[in-house]
Structure 1
Amino acid sequence: MATTPTAAADLCVVKLLVGPGNPGPADAPSTSPGIGIEVWLPAPTAWNNRLHVLGGGGWQGGGHTSLTTLAGTSRNGLVTPAEVAGVEGAVSATTDTGHANTTNGGSFAMLPDGSINTTLWNDFSQRSLHEMAVKTKALTLAYYGRAQRYAYFDGFSTGGRQGHKLAQVYPEDYDGILAGAPAFNWTRFITGELYPQVVQQRDLAGVNLTSAQLGLVSNAAINACDVVGGQHLGYIPDPTQCTYDPTKDLAVLCAASGGTNATASCVSTVQATAINKIWYGQTNDGSVPIPAADNGFAVSPTGNQRWYGLTRGTDLNALAGANPFPISTDVVALESQDATLAQPVFINAKANGANRWRQLTYADLAAAGDKGLALQTSFANINTDNPDLSRLRDRGAKMVMYHGMADVLIPPQGSINYYNRVATQMGGIPAIQNFYRFYLVPGMTHGLGNGTSNPAAVVPLPTAGQLYRLVTDWVEKGAAPGRLDIASTVTTTAPVASSRPLCVYPLKATYTSGSVTAAASYTCS
């Protein structure tokens, strides 16, 4: 077929199906034959004695059990299984996490009667991950006649959550784990992802802020908080210190609200307050403190704050734009066991999605979040927030976590919160840095790109290879990750690279002297 991909090297692809799955009506999204796993094996002469297994994204799913399509040529995070096997020379694998459905969102997790599908929740949350590790190792031994020397798990978003689930529950599966933008704290942050839409429904009579308005205010925040060495960077290097308040900025407020902005993208005081709410994060009652007093970056949510919002300067369109992020309505529907709260793509025999999320009050959304926490056992502990990593430590495995500070979907504060909880549980940050290290990447989105509202920002970013080597060098050479200098991509519109160091948390890049766009001008302190 013309659409069949051509491998760059000799590869063997094996598809596995691990039962029992979840039997049911043939046309129900919750019906599943089992866990699909696709394993990619390089030629014996090209194998580098590693496993480099990849995590998934969103609700995952996919064509892992299909005999006519390949799942491993699509990007699951930052690299594909085909790239890993064909270029790196490592055995790779991915899983559909127990369901093949990619068109109906979280529908697979609800039974036809509207109740929770505990079997597929468990497959999605954890069982598929362990089965993939066990089966990939067994297949590797059978194919090459010897076991791998090193086994790595590499995941981003849902894959970052998967990496932490493996660390918490199956620490024997991998020698090293790379976890980016982890989607742990699942019901907390995903329920909170719907909060920007509820704010606009309740405070703005259901009229969404325009992309121009979101951009105007977010870029004003960048302009207020991006100065280093007397120069503007174009992105905010440390959002934890940014307390910009659009309700007090005459340059973004409309004349009717006492401001000086006469363009169509100006905002009213009510709209500016709504943006403050989006930045602060979900509260029980829709309240928001003055940013100068609390900008939403507390290590643990306090008072009315239930979870964190997106950082100032981040592009808000993914969560506050014309439509909600689909997974957020899925999760609220599953927490409430009411499919009508989801969007129409959510299919269920009892009732389909009907966009009733628009009717949610602040109290309703808070109640849904409470149900999500109460249902963790039924959801196979999808929150993946257990801070006890003593089994991972004792096994001698290593883990590196990283998160963009301009992530448009998952607030980085959740990763900061978890890392500090692990430190509290396990003897402090110096103690856990013996096996678990963490990087925050200024300006980075939900992926290796610019997540700010300023498309012209020249944002230094790590590469997938740099991040992966942090883990492999730690495991194979005993070289613990430290300062990592990163650079922007040189393009025709940005011909001069900007660089900066990434520092191991809680250290931050501190400007000393010289060019503010040169890594050599900073120390980690």
Structure 2
Amino acid sequence: MPRTTLRPGQNTRTPPRAAPALTALCMGICAAAALTACGGSDSSGPSLPFIPTSPPPAGPTTPTALACDESLKTAFKPDANTTVTVVKQFKQGDDLNLDGKASGTVAASDVCMVKLNVGPGHAGPADAPSTSSGIGIEVWLPATAKWNNRLRVLGGGGFVGDAGISSKTQIGGAGAAAIATGEGSVSAVTDAGHASKLPIGAVDGSFAMNPNGTINTTLWTDFASRGIHEMAVKTKALAAGFYQRDAKYAYWDGCSTGGRQGHMQAQVNPDDFDGILAGNSAINWTTFITAELYPQIVMQRDLGGTPLTPDQMTLVSSAAVSACDSTLTGQHEGFISDPAACKYDPTQDTAVLCTGSGGSNATAACLTTVQAQAVNKIWYGQTRDGSAPVPASDVGYGATLASGQLWYGLARGTALNSPGMPGFSLADSTGGVPNPFPIAAHQVALNLQDPTIATPDFINATGNGANNWKALSYTQLANASDRGEALQTAFANINADNPDLARFRDRGAKLLTYHGLADQLIPNSGTANYYERAAKAMGGIDETQKFYRYLEIPAMGHCAGVGSVNGLAGVSPAANPPLPAPNQLFAALTDWVEKGVAPDNLVLQNADQSLARPLCTYPKKLAYLGGDVKAATSFACR
């Protein structure tokens, strides 16, 4: 493999002013004479330093800084639950590996990697997914001279569970390593309390069910909140001991599940971070993930289990783009700027409908009227009875759920041939097989406490996944959504939808969130819904925007890239929308936290810098003033 220098990841972000760190604790830990001078801690935070019963020796004590070698395994013991499992020093130019097998990626600068395990985990049979030794954390510490006095830890995706993070022979945090060696921030990642045996651990929810089929409340808590809190606390303590000073600012940077984790930190552990960057957030977890199975149920119930083909999904999505991509400027742009204004209805589009359904499309990609209505249902979102109003009256998009609407669907024009859509298979992403996104089937199985509903990769002693999701009716899927809400206590409040952010606000921290309006997995209306509720609880939009802002990004997909389908050839051009540059939003967060400069005047550019647009802060929307449609000055946020 070619050797490449590791640099900061494209989707990483920046941090705010850290709460008073753990210098006193770490000084005690790091001193050779005080290796046993700490008590235990729980998930609510670090333990307090041990207070000796006899007077300390006279004269000043010079603590010893933690070293990046095997001595750290005994020198760093912040509590009884925490163990250092791996310490590795990498010099600039070293290949980043732990097993002697070249990865092809080299360190851009000197860096120390430390792996931690924070118990107690969850006991059980050795081969059970619900058995865990504890929370795995991988921390990357730049050289002392390079450290910028920041922490910038990263969030996870899906169910997390990356086995590489706790492994003694693998590296799990390539993104964290890039941040440490590139920008000089201390960075870290966590497996959130479990290590999956599946090739893609993020889709594996079987850890959350005990072998007897009951809910594993311990690992739900580690996954929902304790894992990320422990990562924050232990990373601060490790940095303070390593550098002999506290971090000045601590930041969270995550998208998808990482966005949910960021919201959870603001709600539950507001002292952990000075600034939180949360993108395309997987808040409303049980509700929106249950709704991710809804398109599959539409295929089963309305189309006899025969999914739309990739060509059909591309045709109908691109037709929606062509119908709605000129509403802002009057010119076709290849992407939709305002999904709320798009009322495209494929059941009325003769260019999409098959000739047998009164249309003019004679290709294999055409849709029957029944198939077109199924697409309308998917776009509208989950309802209790599988119904959907005509798009002219309600497209199901917005901050408020309509009567009978359990959750939102994806915005019109978003790529339908994606993990959340009919026909997706992890083994064969070309589609054609009615496989659901595994996360959705796993979560519904957990909501109903029936493993057989999941896909076959869900492993449990009471029975493995057996694709019984196929037999679910609309009413039964609605019941699964209700059960997910009812089980929030057992699920450790995984939905992260508490609008009370008073403690986070009162300590002066900042929360910057964003969501792509063409997200293929998580409908952006869910974020708008939460923001509206939070604003109401926090004294209104103006008061809320003093510490919490939400940015909607037209055409952006799940966390990055273009999520909309190009318009029909000859009608709309290929999509080339303005999107955030690497670290642009993170830099906006650090400026807000460290300089008091609010993100009011952000401008996005497209890939070739031929088009620029202002990025509006919700609830404002982009308005065209006239003039050059490619110039940012031709637009305003209103």
Query: TM-score, structure 1 length as denominator?
Result: 0.96
> Of the candidates 482, 496, 520, which is equivalent to residue 600 of structure 2?
482
Aligned residue for 2:16? none
Aligned residue for 1:506? 619
Change (3 A) 1:241 1:102: farther
1:459 counterpart = 2:577: yes
1:407 counterpart = 2:519: yes
Match of 1:340, SS state, is helix
Distance 1:195 1:499 in 2: 36
Distance 1:132 1:14 in 2: 12
Aligned residue for 2:297? 198
Match of 2:189, SS state, is strand
Distance 1:298 1:457 in 2: 24
Match of 1:64, SS state, is helix
Match of 1:231, SS state, is coil
1:81 counterpart = 2:176: yes
Given that 2:287 and 2:407 are in contact with CA atoms closer than 8 Å, whether structure 1 keeps it comes out as yes
Change (3 A) 1:223 1:102: farther
Given that 1:279 and 1:309 are in contact with CA atoms closer than 8 Å, whether structure 2 keeps it comes out as yes
Aligned residue for 2:253? 154
Match of 2:391, SS state, is coil
Given that 2:384 and 2:404 are in contact with CA atoms closer than 8 Å, whether structure 1 keeps it comes out as yes
Match of 2:603, SS state, is strand
Aligned residue for 2:481? 369
Aligned residue for 2:173? 72
Q: Which amino acid aligns with 2:178?
A: E
Aligned residue for 2:501? 389
Given that 2:398 and 2:528 are in contact with CA atoms closer than 8 Å, whether structure 1 keeps it comes out as no
Q: Which amino acid aligns with 2:493?
A: N
Q: Which amino acid aligns with 2:604?
A: I
1:37 counterpart = 2:37: no
Aligned residue for 1:132? 231
Distance 1:151 1:410 in 2: 27
Match of 2:146, SS state, is coil
Q: Which amino acid aligns with 1:119?
A: T
1:292 counterpart = 2:392: yes
Deviation at 1:470, TM superposition (A): 1.2
Q: Which amino acid aligns with 2:247?
A: Q
Change (3 A) 1:498 1:321: farther
1:17 counterpart = 2:129: no
Deviation at 1:240, TM superposition (A): 1.0
Distance 1:267 1:112 in 2: 45
Match of 2:564, SS state, is coil
Distance 1:467 1:271 in 2: 40
Given that 1:198 and 1:360 are in contact with CA atoms closer than 8 Å, whether structure 2 keeps it comes out as yes
Deviation by residue 1:305-347 (Cα, 9 ceiling, x = unmatched) = 0000000000011222312111000000000111110001111
Distance 1:463 1:25 in 2: 47
Match of 1:200, SS state, is helix
Q: Which amino acid aligns with 2:497?
A: D
Percent identity between matched residues is 59
Aligned residue for 1:7? 107
Deviation by residue 1:136-182 (Cα, 9 ceiling, x = unmatched) = 11001100000000000000000000000000000000000000000
Aligned residue for 1:497? 610
Distance 2:398 2:522 in 1: 16
Distance 1:28 1:203 in 2: 37
Deviates more, 1:321-330 or 1:143-152: 321-330
Deviation by residue 1:453-485 (Cα, 9 ceiling, x = unmatched) = 228311211023101011100010000111311
1:26 counterpart = 2:138: no
Deviation by residue 1:192-217 (Cα, 9 ceiling, x = unmatched) = 00000000100000000111111111
> Of the candidates 443, 446, 452, which is equivalent to residue 334 of structure 1?
446
Deviation by residue 1:285-307 (Cα, 9 ceiling, x = unmatched) = 00001111111124221211000
Q: Which amino acid aligns with 1:407?
A: D
Distance 2:375 2:511 in 1: 35
Distance 1:71 1:294 in 2: 45
Match of 1:408, SS state, is coil
Equivalence map 1:76-225=2 (5 Å)? 80-103=175-198, 105-225=204-324
Aligned residue for 2:510? 398
Aligned residue for 1:77? none
Aligned residue for 2:352? 252
Match of 1:368, SS state, is helix
Distance 2:535 2:395 in 1: 23
Deviation at 1:61, TM superposition (A): 1.2
Deviates more, 1:481-490 or 1:263-272: 481-490
Given that 1:438 and 1:504 are in contact with CA atoms closer than 8 Å, whether structure 2 keeps it comes out as yes
Distance 2:583 2:225 in 1: 27
Change (3 A) 1:162 1:102: farther
> Of the candidates 498, 503, 528, which is equivalent to residue 416 of structure 1?
528
Max Rg structure = 2
> Of the candidates 557, 565, 587, which is equivalent to residue 469 of structure 1?
587
Given that 2:299 and 2:422 are in contact with CA atoms closer than 8 Å, whether structure 1 keeps it comes out as no
Match of 2:466, SS state, is coil
Deviation at 1:102, TM superposition (A): 5.0
Equivalence map 1:507-522=2 (5 Å)? 507-522=620-635
1:240 counterpart = 2:340: yes
Q: Which amino acid aligns with 2:450?
A: D
Deviation by residue 1:496-522 (Cα, 9 ceiling, x = unmatched) = 622211111111111112222322211
Q: Which amino acid aligns with 1:469?
A: A
Deviation at 1:246, TM superposition (A): 0.8
Q: Which amino acid aligns with 1:61?
A: G
Which structure 1 segments of 5+ residues have no match? 74-79, 491-495
1:229 counterpart = 2:329: yes
Deviation at 1:261, TM superposition (A): 1.2
Deviates more, 1:458-467 or 1:364-373: 458-467
CA RMSD, 1 decimal: 1.1
Given that 1:155 and 1:178 are in contact with CA atoms closer than 8 Å, whether structure 2 keeps it comes out as yes
Given that 1:448 and 1:463 are in contact with CA atoms closer than 8 Å, whether structure 2 keeps it comes out as no
> Of the candidates 374, 378, 387, which is equivalent to residue 278 of structure 1?
378
Equivalence map 1:295-334=2 (5 Å)? 295-318=395-418, 319-322=420-423, 323-334=435-446
Match of 2:253, SS state, is strand
Q: Which amino acid aligns with 1:476?
A: E
Given that 2:396 and 2:402 are in contact with CA atoms closer than 8 Å, whether structure 1 keeps it comes out as no
